[in-house]
Amino acid sequence: MESDLTGIPNIGPATARSLIAAGVPDAAALRDMGADAAYRALLTAGERPHFIGYYVLHMALQGRPWNDCKGDEKAALRARFDALVAEVRGVPLSGIEAALDELGLRRP
């Protein structure tokens, strides 16, 4: 399936495939729904939570380099990420679960 998602900086072919599989078919749909709703769709579709992927999506929709997220902004996004993951899972993350998710090491 063709999509213009990879035309958005920071979104490569693998992320585009994941977004499409999660019901986000193109860049217009992604922009309309925003990063939080798109990431919620990814989680609901079975993607493993990964904080870097979450904030990269936010940076992409702002037209910023993925590594531009720092300091207070990154801390605020981390809190939103943890809340989103907990909401989708229905349970809050413990300290070790959150740390393992940040490293991308925990299985769903």
Looking at per-residue pLDDT, the higher value among 22 and 106 belongs to 22
Q: Is 5-103 CATH 3.40.50.2000? A: no
Dihedral angle sign, alpha carbons of residues 20, 26, 29, 31: positive
Phi, psi of 23 (to 5 degrees): 95, 15
Output the pTM of the full model.
Answer: 0.79
pLDDT in tens, 29-45: 999 999 999 999 999 99
